[in-house]
Chain A
Amino acid sequence: MAWDTERTDINVNSQGDVEKWVYSTCNICSIGCGCYIAVNGNRIVGIKGNAKHPVNRGRLGPKGENQWHANNSADRLLTPLLRDSDGVLRPVSWDNAMEVLVTRSRAALHRFGSEGIAIYSTGQGMLEDYYTIAKIGRAGLRSHLLDANTRLCTATTEWCLLQSFGADGTPAGYEDIDVTQTLMLFGHNVAETGTVLFERIMARKQKTGKPYIIVVDPRRTWTAQAADLHLQILPGTNLALLNGITHLLLKHGWIDRDFIANHTVGFADVEQAVRDWTLERTAKETDVPETQIAEAARRLGTTPSLVCTTLQGAYQSVDATATCIAINNIHLLRGLIGKPGCGPLHMAGQPSSSTNRTVGGVGSYPAHRNPSNPKHLQEMAELWNVDAARLEIGAEKDIEYFVDKMERGQLGLFWNIHTNPMVSLPNRLRARRAFERTFVVVQDCFLTETCEVADLVLPTAMWGEKEGLMENADRMINVCEVAVNPPPGVRSDFDIFIDYARRMDFRDKDGNPLIQYTTPRECFEEWKRVSKGRPCDMTAMTYEKIKEQNGMQWPANEAHPNGTPRLYQDLVFHTQVDDAQTYGFHMKTGRARTRKEFEALGANGRAILYGLTYDPPAEQPSAKYPFWLTTGRVVWHWHTRTKTGRAPALHMATSQGYVEIHPDDATLLGILPGELVRISSPRGNITVPARIVDTIRPGLVFVPFHFGSWQEHQAANELTVDLVDPISKQPVYKQSACRIEKVRQHHTVAHGETFGRIAERYQLTPEQLAKANRMTPPYRPDVGSHLEIPSMANPVSPPYMLYRKLDLFPHFRLANLDPKEGE
């Protein structure tokens, strides 16, 4: 177990004793912390960490321990809503709502065929929901149009694993982080996105000095501040850096030739691709000092054990899949995989996004089956007792494909489940125009920004009000139990799907109902049969056993009855042609490979190395838009704040959007701390207060993407490019170009007005007013002269580490490896 000590974090607000504590799992991020929900009188009144859970030993992060407030929020949706002919959403009965859904579904199928309906789900649901979506979508609707907000979050995880190892499933787990000598966090700000994992890493670091931590990030995040080596890279140059590092590994012979010969194919392609990536060229391209690159390569090349994690800084950047494959390449070149402390750990974002991929609600067919392999389709047809001809063939479709179809008026119904695309999709104004051309169903607990374009809204039960399983980022299946009944008027997602399947009268080939299970537990039993013999085999799991063990990692079968903490210990990869989850994509063109092309690789159980070509971001700063724009998260909020925005402590901590600007840029533009500025890109503009921080690179600005209200005009995704990675189809949120402008009023100085009075009138300090006008004391503007008046806000976001007494606080210094900096 990673933690030496337990620490049970509790956040309870109850009049009286807690009646019961109900076993559950945090439903915010993918770390997968175990917890108990506090209940008093059928009301959730708090949460505490599960001290016995191996992931967190009782700890919770700020989002996790405040998530329950949303359950009690006064603005929960309690009845279905249907948009009437006046364009107003009005309450309707469930029966009415479901009939509308069914009628509209039939109309869409009648008009457009199986391509007429798209389901866009989530990474926050339960395994049983996702599996049912997969079955309804593929065997009922016979559609390929199943995607989820996981596309925005972890599609790259999936595709880099498929390309390198033949199947999904991250090779290393948290236990490997606990023992590794070197940890590279690549575009992974774990201190803010996965706070408990960060504590876990730092607990060991403080005690033992290990692991050596390398962070790659254009911002000096809290994670970067805790690193031994921070490579503050130029936006969009991830792959350039990794090509340069790989060049050095080869040049110095820091590779395991036996491993490469016995367990990989494609080495010659790597050699060829990195030949010209000299240290000088890499430094020039990435703007990282040569000494730092060389040190990173030396560490990666000589460490006896290595875990590399990736998250959105890699996934939401240009060359996303190629970047993550380059990381897989490093592990393979060094033979550092499948043994303790070794392996790539490509993270997930949401609490159950990996689950959705595993069971086929998104991505390929359930249990890692290849949608282009007739053998796998036949297996699915037999498992579901349907004709194989009924199952759609070929690679999955993604949300950008849906938006394109909507734009062309080619989609009859868009079913949106627990996600808020009107805040989270890139270039959201384009997305909105597209959504307005389709019948949109929103299934959610709250009136989100997406309800603005909804025609039908279905209110749902939340975490703590429904039963199910979730898979976290290291393949661990965890249980969520029912703590309280959902409020009257709402239904669980699972119930909605079962009802929909019944009303649509989906049948198998014997004429029996396609879906015969009626509870999540029955559904899980069916799923286990589907998973049998596949990489994610769960046949040895039961709800009881998972709970007893506080989580189980797949595969869990006869050979591994208690689960598998680490994949590929036998160094046999899923690259036999009839085992593989996909035939993959050509890295150079982004084109799907044929079966014959996959066979021609000759992998047959060996991992696949790729030579990778660096392409700079499509959009780059220009004369008109001179800054890089990057977007991301803050520690206090999750995604579009549907839940965290309803927790008082989290809302108060950061209640509005902002932009981070480097002091040099702020000085050049004459922007004051807290001043409202307009950020524009070729797609739109927003107005947010400026935070002036030296943790960001000059020339780069950062806007958190959580704030998307239609009224407040702070949505980062009004600015972002809607271009995607050619393999994973994940949007490139991290690299757009933008311009910053001051939003100032003008004041003409009148007779008798003092400078102080003018400042006071606009709620400014004299210093602020003087600074805004670049004045020096004494401040005596002439009568009739014009003063610029900035609008101020307070965008301060407190660091969470001060939130409570902690076991530790990171205070490691960045290794100062640049002689120029040292001088």
Chain B
Amino acid sequence: MDDLVRRLLHAQVMLVQMRRVVSQVPGTPSKRLATSTREECGIIDQILSIARTQTPDPEHLKERLTALYHADATTQRSGKEWVRWLAWERGSASYRERRGVERLLHVTFHELAACIPTLVGLYGEQETKYIAPVEYRPQTAREV
């Protein structure tokens, strides 16, 4: 659980930074990404407060974790769109902002992906599939 908390806190820092960058640029993609990061941060707060209770309710935690992973899937998608859009809007002058947001997205994604073993420990592999979309889960080689 400690590892989960630590990673979520780190992801939250990334999301706050991302929001700071995108809020400098007016436009619908910025608004969407800001909304999504704000929601994701809020969900992390909810998870942290559940995790900090003496006996966390596993079902409540699972439900909020499900919301978190889906919120991040939205952030990842909106973030990639934002990066493409900014390149069209501002060209090469926006390189630093775009790279910055790409990095923040990448770190956030990997923090959530790195929490999967903890989730599997808490809920088992099958239940974890309902929490985290496929892209966050490690893919095992398949022989057919």
Chain A interface residues toward B at CB < 8 A: 105-106, 109-116, 140-142, 144, 318, 372, 374, 389, 392-395, 397, 400-401, 404, 504-506, 588-592, 594-597, 615-619, 682-683, 721-724, 726
Contacts and interface: CB of A to CB of B under 8 A. Distances in A.
A78 B78 CA distance: 43
A505 B143 CA distance: 11
B139 interface: yes
B29 A109 contact: no
Given A395-B133, A726-B32, 16 more contacts: A113-B140, A140-B144, A144-B134, A318-B28, A374-B130, A393-B130, A394-B130, A400-B77, A590-B32, A591-B39, A591-B74, A592-B74, A618-B85, A619-B85, A682-B88, A724-B81
B67 interface: yes
Contacts of A590: 32, 36, 74, 78
A617 B31 CA distance: 12
Interface string B4-43: 0000000000000000000000011101100110010000
28 contacts: A105-B144, A106-B144, A109-B142, A110-B142, A113-B141, A114-B139, A115-B135, A116-B139, A116-B142, A140-B144, A372-B130, A400-B77, A505-B144, A589-B35, A589-B39, A589-B71, A590-B36, A591-B39, A594-B70, A618-B29, A618-B85, A682-B88, A721-B88, A723-B81, A723-B84, A726-B74, A726-B77, A726-B78
A374 B126 CA distance: 10
A615 B32 contact: yes
A594 B66 contact: yes
Contact of B129 (A109, A394, A504, A592): A394
B5 to A, nearest CB: 21
Given A389-B126, A615-B31, A617-B28, A115 B78 contact: no
Nearest to A389: B126
A814 B116 CA distance: 60
A109 B28 contact: no
Nearest to A729: B77
B45 interface: no
A394 B66 CA distance: 11
A111 B141 contact: yes
A201 to B, nearest CB: 35
A590 B73 CA distance: 10
Interface size class of B (residues with CB under 8 A): 35 or more
Contacts of B89: 619, 682
Interface in B97-144: 125-126, 129-130, 133-135, 139-144
B30 to A, nearest CB: 9
A589 B74 contact: yes
A616 B28 contact: yes
A731 to B, nearest CB: 11
A682 B85 CA distance: 10
A106 B141 CA distance: 10
Contacts of A589: 35-36, 39, 71, 74
A723 B85 contact: yes
Contacts of B133: 394-395
Contacts of A595: 63
Nearest to B133: A394
A593 to B, nearest CB: 8
Contacts of A142: 142
Given A106-B144, A618-B85, A115 B134 contact: yes
Q: Which of B31, B32, B74, B144 has the most CB of A within 10 A?
A: B144
B27 A618 contact: yes
A617 B133 CA distance: 28
B65 to A, nearest CB: 10
Contact of A722 (B73, B84, B130, B144): B84
B63 A594 contact: yes
Contacts of B88: 619, 682-683, 721
A10 to B, nearest CB: 49
Contacts of A617: 28
Contact of A597 (B29, B67, B84, B143): B67
B97 to A, nearest CB: 16
Interface string B54-88: 00000000010011001101100110110011011
Contacts of A394: 129-130, 133-134
A723 B130 CA distance: 27
Contacts of B142: 109-110, 113-114, 116, 142
Contacts of A596: 63
A111 B81 CA distance: 28
B139 A113 contact: yes
Given A394-B134, A590-B74, A112 B28 contact: no
Given A144-B134, A394-B133, A106 B70 contact: no
A616 B134 CA distance: 32
A504 B144 contact: yes
A631 B89 CA distance: 21
A110 B141 contact: yes
B63 to A, nearest CB: 5
Q: Which 9 A-B pairs have the closest CB atoms?
A: A113-B139, A682-B88, A109-B142, A592-B70, A393-B129, A615-B28, A618-B28, A591-B74, A591-B71
B85 to A, nearest CB: 5
Nearest to B67: A594
Contacts of A615: 28, 31-32
Contacts of A113: 139-142
Contacts of B141: 109-111, 113
Nearest to A737: B88
Nearest to B71: A591
